[in-house]
Structure 1
Amino acid sequence: MPYKVLVVDDSSFFQHRLKEIINEHPDLEVVGIAANGQEAIDLAASLNPDVITMDYEMPRMDGVSAVRVIMASKPVPIVMFSSMTYEGATITLDALDAGAVDFIPKNFAEVSRNSQALKSKLHDTLIGFASSANPEAAKRKTDELAAVAATKSQKAKEVTAALRQRLAAKTQASQSTPTSGAVSTSPKKLKGSVKIVVIGASTGGPVALSEIIAALPSDFHFPVIVIQHMPENFTRAFAERLNRQCKISVKEAETGDKLIAGRVLIAPGGKQLMFDRAGSSVKILDGDDRVNYKPCVDVTFASAAASFGGKVLGIVLTGMGADGCEGARLLKQKGSFIWSQNQETCVVYGMPAAVARAGLSDEVMAVKDVAPRLLSDL
């Protein structure tokens, strides 16, 4: 049985195209279409979808308001379609605060020309959130593959066996990974051993980062660098929002910005953040197109290892993939410290899981514990 998708958009063109694109994947099925926020709330209650795609600008009730109501009544993963403008970025950040799990650029040209990149991104995102939020459905999907393989070729049976093995390994790994603030190795004393805090995050990061940074005082003793996977306008809007909400100073980083205690620098979207050799300021570079992420946690962690040696506290928060793992390895080789977020408080337990499973985490903790530990341990 495919994962059930509810599409919410007031444009009949987008409704039709999204339904076509989503239904192309055998593991996804659009079970309903809503043209405004109130219809989304009603259909979410009656259809019980596994995941929802949500536009933000609609009549009667906007997308952000609908997200708040749905998440308060019966939570379900909601992926926003977002304009890449500055205004779109601010609205998307409101949606993430309200409980949406991620966003996808709403690009008319890509939808019109049947972009393969958009299809892959949309399919992977929806299946990822639907399966993580509904493990029973994920198990049913594996069982269905086994049933199909039983009537098909030996090759199909081998593929299904491999899928089962991967699912079992993933389950076993998550059960063996330290969670709930457990410590993977003996806690290390950080006082006097850290010059800078560098935090990496992706999916779910804006909310986690807001919680951490809002708790830091204006006279925090160290500079803080944040690498959050976001497009250009989003990092600017995010930095400005945090600066308004927090006691500590926050800005989007620019080349030449000095590393100052009591200031947070957000790596700009579409660029890479690195440090000068003296470790006194940052450099913003276009970076190599072969690097998947801009900004990239691995790139900034590696630069921090080169500039600060063992004097870094690297923190890896919620996010898909494994960005940060190799950078964390370089930091550990220099004698620096690594914290990672635990599974229970992650929107997606990918990046911190990779670090923890590689044995690189000095401590694994809930996001609510990060700021108190920063204040007590540094």
Structure 2
Amino acid sequence: MTVSVLVVDDSGFFRRRLTEILTVSGQIKVVGAATNGREGVEMAEKLRPDVITMDYEMPVMDGISAVREIMTRHPVPVLMFSSLTYEGARVTLDALEAGAVDFLPKNFEEIARDTSELQKILIERILDVARSSPGKKSPAPTATPAGSAAAGGADRPRERPVRPRPPVMTPEEKPAPVSAARRILRRGAAKHYSVVAIGTSTGGPVALQKVLSGLPASFPAPLVLVQHMPASFTPAFAERLNKMCQIEVRQAEEGDLLKPGLALLAPGGKQMIIENRGGQARIRILPGDNRLHYRPCVDLTFGSLARAFPGKTLGVILTGMGADGKEGCRLMKESGSDIWSQDEKSSVIYGMPMAVAKAGLTDEVLALQDIGPRLQEGVS
């Protein structure tokens, strides 16, 4: 099935270049191009594309405002293009909170060494985003994002095209069933963990905000966070989390000690492992190895925790593309530790959590809105 795309950008060169790249595969059709956010909102309502690519700095209406209005009127998966700067990171995080699914650097030279690689990255990302579930930035029952513009004309009936969906799994491929007893831990059955590790990718920034913002400053365990994100974005993301959370959140540095109530975020472009020597756990920051697709990599961090704290770690896998985290969770389970994963309904992309559940590694499957409260109940 062909994926229809609306390109929204005030640069004529960028609109043409992106259109050329996306149409090469034959799997994607660019059905329209808008020169500003307001035009993008109107064309999205008219064309009902499967995916929208969105610039953030445009005349008439900026990209964040456009995303908010689109999510109010007719949620569509949105891929943001951003600059790899601190300001670009801040704006992109705002766009993700407004409802965008994912982002890519706008400078194509930043994400690929040659044209063929660039085409592969962009086409794969568009196809992945097309399979996402937009508008899941909040688990609240209302579909209208907080602070969104009024949904003018949203009640006008239109024929909605069928969205591309992931292939239907055979019974053998479906995740192993999780019993009700394993889904819900009885109140009062809190367990001591030496560390709580959370891994995530697409949809993760907003998911982490939701999970961590409800934790008290007195949370009894250290936390380590692995979010697939560029090096220029993680400092801004850690700062953002720290401002909205009662626990302390900061980007991890070489030699950091794990402490209760402190969440350490893996720096983008590098790898984070945990070493436990003489009962004292420290962070090690390693150079990003090009042999590993993800930098930072959930598998690598979780694997180090399986060695550092066998049987004493809680691993949590949130929304994200791919299967990063599955092998790390396997090592944790083999050491006697516990694994929780986000459910399909509340995931923006049910890739990483599905891989863990399908492998039979999940002890509890939880909706996003339940993970924070469960951490407070289940961790002593």
TM-score bucket of the superposed structures, by smaller chain: 0.7 to 0.9
SS of 2:232 mapped into structure 1: helix
Deviations 1:118-166 (A, max 9, x none): 2111111111222445994437xxxxxxxxxxxxxxxxxxxxxxxxxx9
Q: Which residue number corresponds to residue 359 of structure 2?
A: 358
Q: Which residue number corresponds to residue 331 of structure 2?
A: 330
Q: Which residue number corresponds to residue 211 of structure 1?
A: 210
Pairwise CA distance, 1:53: 0.2
Q: Decide whether aligned partners of structure 1 residues 96 and 307 sit closer, same or farther in structure 2, where only a CA change above 3 A counts.
A: same
Q: Is the Cα contact below 8 Å between 1:182 and 1:365 reproduced in 2?
A: no
Comparing 268-277 with 130-139, which one deviates more in the overlay?
A: 130-139
Q: Is the Cα contact below 8 Å between 2:67 and 2:95 reproduced in 1?
A: yes
Q: Which residue number corresponds to residue 71 of structure 1?
A: 71
Q: Is the Cα contact below 8 Å between 1:17 and 1:111 reproduced in 2?
A: no
Q: Which runs of 5+ in 1 are unaligned?
A: 140-165
Q: Which residue number corresponds to residue 297 of structure 1?
A: 298
Deviations 1:238-282 (A, max 9, x none): 000111111111100000111111111000000111112325211
Pairwise CA distance, 1:25: 1.6
**TM-score scaled by length of structure 1:** 0.87
Comparing 209-218 with 274-283, which one deviates more in the overlay?
A: 274-283
Q: Is the Cα contact below 8 Å between 1:197 and 1:222 reproduced in 2?
A: yes
* Aligned-partner residue type, residue 309 of structure 1: P
Pairwise CA distance, 1:193: 3.5
Q: Which residue number corresponds to residue 195 of structure 2?
A: 196
Pairwise CA distance, 1:7: 0.1
Matches within 5 A, 1:193-342: 193-278=192-277, 279-342=280-343
Q: Is the Cα contact below 8 Å between 1:316 and 1:352 reproduced in 2?
A: yes
Percent identity over paired residues: 51
SS of 1:254 mapped into structure 2: coil
Q: Decide whether aligned partners of structure 1 residues 35 and 114 sit closer, same or farther in structure 2, where only a CA change above 3 A counts.
A: farther
SS of 1:250 mapped into structure 2: strand
C-alpha separation between the residues in 2 aligned to 1:43 and 1:221?
50
Q: Is the Cα contact below 8 Å between 1:177 and 1:353 reproduced in 2?
A: no
* Aligned-partner residue type, residue 20 of structure 2: E
C-alpha separation between the residues in 1 aligned to 2:36 and 2:183?
50
C-alpha separation between the residues in 2 aligned to 1:129 and 1:85?
23
C-alpha separation between the residues in 2 aligned to 1:135 and 1:212?
33
Q: Which residue number corresponds to residue 118 of structure 1?
A: 118
Pairwise CA distance, 1:86: 1.0
Q: Which runs of 5+ in 2 are unaligned?
A: 134-159
C-alpha separation between the residues in 1 aligned to 2:349 and 2:109?
29
C-alpha separation between the residues in 2 aligned to 1:6 and 1:106?
16
* Aligned-partner residue type, residue 256 of structure 1: G
Q: Which residue number corresponds to residue 44 of structure 1?
A: 44
* Aligned-partner residue type, residue 240 of structure 1: E
Q: Decide whether aligned partners of structure 1 residues 251 and 185 sit closer, same or farther in structure 2, where only a CA change above 3 A counts.
A: closer
C-alpha separation between the residues in 2 aligned to 1:326 and 1:111?
26
SS of 2:239 mapped into structure 1: helix
Q: Which residue number corresponds to residue 98 of structure 2?
A: 98
C-alpha separation between the residues in 1 aligned to 2:289 and 2:3?
37
* Aligned-partner residue type, residue 138 of structure 1: P
SS of 2:67 mapped into structure 1: helix
C-alpha separation between the residues in 2 aligned to 1:229 and 1:138?
24
Q: Which residue number corresponds to residue 153 of structure 1?
A: none
* Aligned-partner residue type, residue 206 of structure 1: P
Q: Is the Cα contact below 8 Å between 1:342 and 1:365 reproduced in 2?
A: yes
C-alpha separation between the residues in 2 aligned to 1:220 and 1:112?
41
* Aligned-partner residue type, residue 315 of structure 1: V
Pairwise CA distance, 1:167: 3.0
Deviations 1:68-112 (A, max 9, x none): 000011000000001111111110000000000000111154699
